[in-house]
Chains A and B, each alone.
Chain A
Amino acid sequence: MTIDFEFRKSVMDYHVHDVLKYCFQCSRCTDNCPISAVTIDFYTTTGYNPRANILNALLGYKDAIFSADPLTIWGCTVCDTCDEVCPQHIELTEIFTFLKNESVKLGNAPEFIYGQAKAIYDSAKAIPSQPAIERRREQLGIPPVAAPDVNEVQTLLKNIGSDKKLK
């Protein structure tokens, strides 16, 4: 396995408090991960494993993360339980956010991720306003949702470069 030093550096730079390097692989993250609990097969190495992700990110094993089954990254359900149980106070979910952002650039993210980003780019809402729901709001006696400034949101996203990652 090759070590990608650039990747390793970007991981270290991303983690604000730089305590990532103090990970001693105790595995509290994986032991408490709800998705590890339902995907890891004890006798093989398949399934979602936050501990392994941290190790591979820390060592710069880029291929072990990005060339593997996308479940390796996207099995995370963003419950932040690992952050809470980590004895070294590593913000694992922030590292996983970085890995996911990189996976998006490679075009390997699940479809719904691109779908939601597209909806936000097009309508400034993850779930756009629909006539049927607008009527239901009226029936329920609640005011309409204030329409967001789509142009402003699009300008912001274009300047950041998010539009180029859309599919």
Chain B
Amino acid sequence: MTEYKMFEGCTIGNRIPFIEAASRKVFDKIGITTSSAPFSCCPDPTGMKSFDNNAWLALGARNLVLAEAEGKDIISLCNGCANTLRGVQFQLKHDSLKKEKVNAELAKIGKNYKGSIDVKHFVDVLKDNIDKVKGAVTKPLSGLKVAVHPGCHYMRPAEWMESDDPMRPTTLKELVAAAGATVVDYEEEILCCGSAVTNAYEEAGMANLKVKMDSVKGAGADILVVNCPACFQQFDTRQRDLGKKYETEYDIPVLYITELLSLAMGVSADEIGLKFHRTRMKLEDFGL
């Protein structure tokens, strides 16, 4: 199988590395090989892009150049990084003026962007290897009711991300089903986690988060499964404050899809650092 350049991103790499540990376990189990590269911040499609779009384009292109130098595709563990790298690639492919400008800046640091590699979100890579994923599952999580949150940047803008559906993607659900768990539909499935706005306007962010979590809880889900570290942090870290603010017990553990798959593939909770979650999952309830 082809080797990918691993793009773990700032949040997973430098704040919540247990998600990377789980992801690497899953990749090992199904034979996806990766190697590292000295990537900078992708940079953040909600932060740095809002700060300076030209800087976003140039830094994004520089990261792509690092992978191009080795002729390898990138596998991203994060919605934000996948969004930026695919977005930069899309804009430079369809706007030759932008590409010229970016390459003029890159030339000053001895680099040149060609557009010769692809950027893949890890969920899509797992989906492409769904039979291997199913084959590696040794402890099906039967009886576990899972609400999924694919997250905005996994699928939008549609032209950049090319997921199966920009408003109702099925990939994450298929992976949850592959783990033997049951997908629970809920009304606010594609509602944004609100991470970007919460940093500036907490009141609005929490009100949005309430809509989301009420819907998850109302559907009777045991856990919420995500594939983005920003969404993960929003649901995992802010859930307690949300509960206090609105005097509601949410008590919905949040798992990364690779954590769920790791558990289903027989990896122990200790090996992937599940204890570092704020929300705790009662593993014994599911025979783990």
A72 to B: closest C-beta gap in Å: 12
Please tell me if B115 contacts chain A, counting CB pairs below 8 Å: no
Please tell me if B41 contacts chain A, counting CB pairs below 8 Å: yes
Please tell me if B24 contacts chain A, counting CB pairs below 8 Å: yes
Q: Is the CB of A113 within 8 A of B51?
A: yes
Q: Is the CB of B17 within 8 A of A110?
A: no
B3 to A: closest C-beta gap in Å: 15
Q: Given A160-B105, A162-B51, A162-B52, A38–B211 Cβ distance below 8 Å?
A: yes
Which residues of the partner chain A approach B208 to less than 8 Å between Cβ atoms? 34-35, 37-38, 77
Q: Which residue of B lies closest to A141 (CB)?
A: B21
User: How many residues from B make CB contacts under 8 Å with A?
Assistant: 66
State which of A16, A38, A39, A127 has its C-beta within 8 Å of the C-beta of B10. Answer: A127
State which of B43, B50, B108 has its C-beta within 8 Å of the C-beta of A155. Answer: B108
Which residues of the partner chain B approach A146 to less than 8 Å between Cβ atoms? 36-39
A65 to B: closest C-beta gap in Å: 15
Which residues of the partner chain B approach A157 to less than 8 Å between Cβ atoms? 55, 58-59
State which of A97, A133, A136 has its C-beta within 8 Å of the C-beta of B50. Answer: A97
Chain A 66-77 interface 0/1 with B at a Cβ cutoff of 8 Å (1 = within): 000011001111
Q: Given A34-B208, A74-B200, A153-B62, A79–B152 Cβ distance below 8 Å?
A: yes
Which residues of the partner chain B approach A78 to less than 8 Å between Cβ atoms? 45-46, 49-50, 152, 196
Q: Is the CB of B14 within 8 A of A140?
A: no
State which of B8, B58, B156, B199 has its C-beta within 8 Å of the C-beta of A156. Answer: B58
Please tell me if B125 contacts chain A, counting CB pairs below 8 Å: no
Please tell me if A106 contacts chain B, counting CB pairs below 8 Å: no
**Which residues in window 198-225 of B have CB below 8 A to A?**
198-201, 204-205, 207-208, 211
Which residues of the partner chain B approach A142 to less than 8 Å between Cβ atoms? 17, 20-21, 24
Q: Is the CB of A16 within 8 A of B95?
A: yes
Q: Given A156-B59, A160-B54, A77–B44 Cβ distance below 8 Å?
A: no
Q: Which residue of B lies closest to A148 (CB)?
A: B40
Q: Is the CB of B211 within 8 A of A145?
A: no
Which residues of the partner chain B approach A113 to less than 8 Å between Cβ atoms? 47, 50-51, 200
Q: Is the CB of B197 within 8 A of A76?
A: yes
Q: List 16 additional A-B contacts (Cβ < 8 Å) besides A83-B156, A116-B51.
A: A74-B197, A77-B46, A80-B152, A81-B156, A101-B53, A104-B52, A112-B200, A113-B47, A113-B51, A117-B52, A120-B59, A126-B44, A127-B14, A130-B14, A156-B109, A162-B55
